[in-house]
Amino acid sequence: MENKQIISLLAHNHPGVLLRITSLISRRGFNIDSLTASPSGIEGFSRLTVRMSGDDDQVEQFINQMLKIVDVKKAEVLPEESSVAMELILIKVNSDAGNRNDIIALTSTYHASLVNLGESSLTFRASGTPGQIDKLIAELAPFGILEMARTGIAALENGDTCLAD
């Protein structure tokens, strides 16, 4: 069964590591929804979080291929039920005096913050699970989305377990 999986990677923070990882993704034809890279909190290492579509065999193959890259020290699936996963979005929506209050009321249900008020647009910042962000986009679409920037997923396993363990 094809589904969305979150994979966390711990890799040395050397020049070219991200290029090697993305090249492998491209060569092998993996279907990646998002890829984020950030400091890991461990000196000399970065954390990469990948959200991909695929069945269990494809996810296992992805992890095995990642572990063949010398600079990748750990790769594991973060189970949805035992992880915290969030995204950030900036979204600019077409607006006029007649619908501003409706749009602001709608976005408040998603805890979105108004960050810019234009003459004919409203720009919001929101964070949430990928599903929540998808729903926000769907609800704002009828008003006319002028542009948006979505960060990609950041995820950590619940509890005391750490990727570096």
Residue ending a domain, among 78, 102, 129, is 78
What 3 state SS string does 133-152 have?
A: HHHHHHHHHHHCEEEEEECC
Amino acid 41: pLDDT: 86
Residue ending a domain, among 22, 51, 78, is 78
Amino acid 55: pLDDT: 87
What does the alpha-carbon distance between residue 115 and residue 123 come to, in Å, rounded to a whole number?
6
Among 61, 70, 64, 83, which Cα is nearest to 11's? Answer: 70
Q: Identify the three-state secondary structure at position 100.
A: helix
Structure token pair of residue 66: 């990642």
Residue ending a domain, among 78, 97, 119, is 78
Per-residue pLDDT of the chain (165 residues), as tens digits, is: 568 899 999 999 999 999 999 999 999 988 898 999 999 989 999 999 999 988 889 999 999 999 999 999 999 999 888 899 999 999 999 999 999 999 999 999 999 999 999 999 999 999 999 899 999 999 999 999 999 999 989 999 888 888 877
**Same domain, yes or no: 136 and 72:** no
Amino acid 22: pLDDT: 92
